[in-house]
Structure 1
Amino acid sequence: MVDHPERITEHFEAAWNAHDMVAFGALFHPDATFVNRFAMYWRGIDQIVAGHRFIHETIYSDSVLRVDPADIDWVGEDAAILHFWTRLTAGAAHPAGPHVADTLILAIATRRDGDWRVQAAENVTLADPTTGKDILRAS
């Protein structure tokens, strides 16, 4: 159970790094949506978990994710917009080999029955707009 939206990022990082898709899925409402960094659109927790389970069993099985604290904009007592940066370090399991990618996640978190979860999220890769080449932000 997440008691405040700012804690979602801590749980997101912990679930990713443990490759624990049960814990990862618990961060989302059952009817949530997720757009990954390659524009794959998943509706519902089953699709979100299945999409992430696949990559955690394959290309991201040895990945590590660092998640920065969220910048939060409150929409009301039970809704907040979160923007948070991630740094993905992919390992040898990735077809491109070990590399690093930065992404920015936009998430809408809502509170239902006292529990904060993600209702919608979109993940975008930081890239040079003139070349499309991934870039890393200063950190």
Structure 2
Amino acid sequence: MQAQTILDAIQRVFDHQMDAWARGDAHAFAADFAPDAVFVTVRGDFVQGRPGIQANHAFIFSGPYRGSKLKESVDVIRFPAPGVAVAHLSVELSNVAAFPPGITPSEPGLLRTRFLLVLTQQNDTWQISSAQNTIVVSQPLR
């Protein structure tokens, strides 16, 4: 696969994630993850496997993040080995009515995060094998 074709295929994964989020579709959101994927949430929850990722997102789509808007932008994608991509994304979650316990918004109704994804190539498709979402703290260090 040529470099641009690979980048396009990975971008389709990100686009699908944003579309699934917009529809509140936990099944579609989780479908981009490998069956044995690991997801560390912004709260530090350690979620293993696609079924767990789906259940976690079904909960947040039906509760705290219902109707929220997800915007992801790619900061950098690196390829440390053939068939492996490490992507760093900047994320904005807006239109949030109420944040779950332990989550401090970046601004009222807005959460900014850094999303680290490890993707692996399976034939011509890419799946998320590991993900970690980290809140961007709006207060400077002193």
TM-score by length of 2: 0.82
State the partner residue of 1:107: 117
State the partner residue of 1:69: 74
CA-to-aligned-CA distance 1:33-88 (integer Å, 9 cap, x gap): 00000100001011111111101000111111111135100122311000001100
State the partner residue of 1:32: 37
* Structure 2, unaligned runs of 5 or more: 1-5
Percent of counterpart pairs with the same letter? 29
Higher fraction of helix: 2
State the partner residue of 1:44: 49
State the partner residue of 2:136: 126
The 1:129/1:122 distance shift into structure 2, 3 A limit, reads: farther
Contact 2:65 2:99 in 1 (8 A): no
CA distance in 2, matches of 1:115, 1:40: 27
3-state SS of 2:110 partner: strand
State the partner residue of 1:137: none
Note the C-alpha offset of 1:115.
1.7
Aligned length: 129
* Aligned amino acid, residue 107 of structure 1: L
CA-to-aligned-CA distance 1:104-139 (integer Å, 9 cap, x gap): 1000000113220100000000003648xxxxxxxx
* Aligned amino acid, residue 131 of structure 2: A
3-state SS of 2:74 partner: coil
The 1:129/1:35 distance shift into structure 2, 3 A limit, reads: farther
* Aligned amino acid, residue 74 of structure 1: F
Note the C-alpha offset of 1:95.
5.2
CA distance in 2, matches of 1:16, 1:117: 17
Instruction: Map 1:53-92; keep pairs closer than 5 Å.
Output: 53-92=58-97
CA distance in 2, matches of 1:52, 1:70: 24
Contact 1:9 1:70 in 2 (8 A): no
Note the C-alpha offset of 1:9.
1.6
The 1:113/1:95 distance shift into structure 2, 3 A limit, reads: closer
Contact 2:74 2:87 in 1 (8 A): no
